[in-house]
């Protein structure tokens, strides 16, 4: 398989209680899969870069090949790792990750054995000096992955994001995009983030993350986007959930506001990652940042209409293209 795209991220064992639809108990998940699905809506030939424990279901990795995903970049460590993730949706736009026992009881469901002993992750802390064991390392990258046309980094700790992005910059990757981790998007980490953005094609933070980075310095989102672009990044895309995206082009100084496609919301899990995957596909295809945002927007719209990392791939033929054309007609520059 030719690997044209590489996505670095994390794999999880998800248990999701969506606002509508059936519960998903111990299924493949994680930022890596949602981003890969968002990309696969438009393109093929994706290499996955991640780490898992020896207890991660090996049959899941084999199944990923059905989507033309190459798993040679998934390193299986000789140790068990707790890669479980729980999320309950109180309504389509309100989620919680705490107290799974209470949520199963609320819904009258039997608590699954797969969640026994599960402890929700603690509050996000500054992660600039540590890397978790499931974060990929440059040594995990198969040599031919470095020849890919484009690469995307899902939210990872600062050290990992810096090392992996450096590996692709050193070989002159044509397109390199990054979705930051909220852990290092803080005012105190601004200088570190400045170095991380240098040489990126696109930086894809959420509105909350961008505001946190410039807290106490700037209050206008467009000014924040322009400041981030001045760090050496071509395009800044601010993800704003149901309000769509803001796009800033550092070369032309142009600004666009792109409304979210009016999808039927069922589950917001993975929407941002799916957007990032779609953006990468769109930019690699057109080298037009606006068209890239439209591709990402549509990928996210397909993801939120159901649950699970593969829902976007279950669409009717032609649906994504139809949504792309519909969305393009209502975009405006500012």
pLDDT at 124: 60
pLDDT at 330: 86
Q: Using CA atoms of 71, 314, 177, 1 in order, give the dihedral in degrees to the nearest 10.
A: 40
Neighbours of 258 (CB within 10 A): 22
Q: Are strands 46-52 and 175-178 parallel, antiparallel or unpaired?
A: unpaired
Helix (H, G, I), strand (E, B) or coil at 161: helix
Residue tagged 């020849």 (tokens):
147
- β-partners of residue 258 are 245
pLDDT at 111: 96
pLDDT at 165: 97
d(CA 223, CA 285) in angstroms, rounded, equals 29
d(CA 203, CA 318) in angstroms, rounded, equals 29
Give the residue among 279, 90, 104 at the shortest CA–CA distance from 200. 279
Provide long-range contacts, Cβ within 8 A and 24+ apart, for 289-294.
289/202, 289/234, 289/235, 289/237, 289/247, 289/249, 290/247, 290/256, 290/258, 290/331, 291/328, 292/202, 292/235, 293/237, 293/245, 293/247, 293/256, 293/258, 294/258, 294/324, 294/327, 294/328, 294/331
pLDDT at 125: 62
d(CA 302, CA 41) in angstroms, rounded, equals 9
Q: Are strands 202-203 and 235-239 parallel, antiparallel or unpaired?
A: parallel
Crossing angle of helices 271-286/31-40, nearest 10°? Answer: 40
pLDDT at 263: 93
Per-residue pLDDT of the chain (334 residues; tens, 9 = 90+): 789 999 999 999 999 999 888 999 999 999 999 999 999 999 999 999 999 999 999 999 999 988 989 999 999 999 999 999 999 988 878 889 999 999 999 999 999 999 999 988 765 666 677 889 999 999 999 999 999 999 999 999 999 999 999 999 999 888 999 999 999 999 999 999 999 999 999 999 999 999 999 999 999 999 999 999 999 999 999 999 999 999 999 999 999 999 999 999 989 999 999 999 999 999 999 999 999 999 999 999 999 999 999 999 998 889 999 999 999 988 878 7
Domains in the chain: ranges and CATH: 5-333 (3.40.1190.20)
């Amino acid at each position: 398989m030719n690997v044209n795209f590489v996505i670095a991220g994390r794999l999880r064992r998800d248990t999701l209680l969506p606002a509508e639809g059936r519960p998903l108990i111990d299924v493949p998940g994680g930022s890596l899969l949602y981003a890969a699905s968002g990309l696969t809506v438009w393109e093929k030939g994706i290499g996955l870069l991640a780490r898992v424990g020896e207890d991660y279901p090996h049959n899941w990795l084999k199944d990923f090949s059905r989507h033309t995903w190459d798993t040679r970049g998934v390193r299986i460590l000789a140790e068990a790792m707790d890669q479980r993730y729980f999320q309950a949706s109180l309504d389509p736009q309100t989620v919680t990750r705490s107290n799974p026992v209470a949520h199963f009881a609320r819904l009258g469901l039997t608590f699954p054995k797969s969640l026994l002993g599960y402890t929700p992750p603690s509050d996000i802390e500054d992660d600039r000096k540590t890397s978790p064991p499931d974060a990929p390392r440059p040594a995990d990258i198969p040599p031919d992955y470095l020849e890919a046309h484009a690469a995307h980094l899902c939210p990872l700790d600062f050290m990992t994001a810096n090392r992996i992005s450096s590996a692709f910059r050193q070989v002159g990757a044509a397109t390199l995009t990054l979705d930051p981790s909220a852990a290092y998007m803080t005012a105190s980490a601004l200088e570190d983030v400045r170095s991380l953005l240098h040489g990126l094609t696109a930086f894809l933070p959420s509105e909350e993350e961008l505001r946190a980075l410039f807290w106490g310095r700037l209050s206008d989102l467009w000014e924040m986007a322009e400041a981030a672009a001045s760090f050496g990044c071509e395009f800044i895309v601010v993800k704003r959930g149901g309000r769509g995206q803001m796009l800033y082009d550092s070369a032309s100084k142009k600004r666009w506001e792109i409304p979210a496609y009016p999808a039927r919301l069922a589950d917001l899990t993975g929407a941002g990652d799916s957007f990032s995957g779609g953006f990468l596909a769109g930019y690699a295809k057109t080298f037009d940042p606006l068209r890239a945002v439209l591709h990402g927007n549509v990928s996210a719209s397909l993801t939120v209409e159901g649950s699970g990392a593969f829902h976007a791939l279950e669409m009717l033929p032609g649906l994504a293209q139809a949504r792309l054309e519909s969305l393009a007609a209502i975009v405006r520059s500012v």
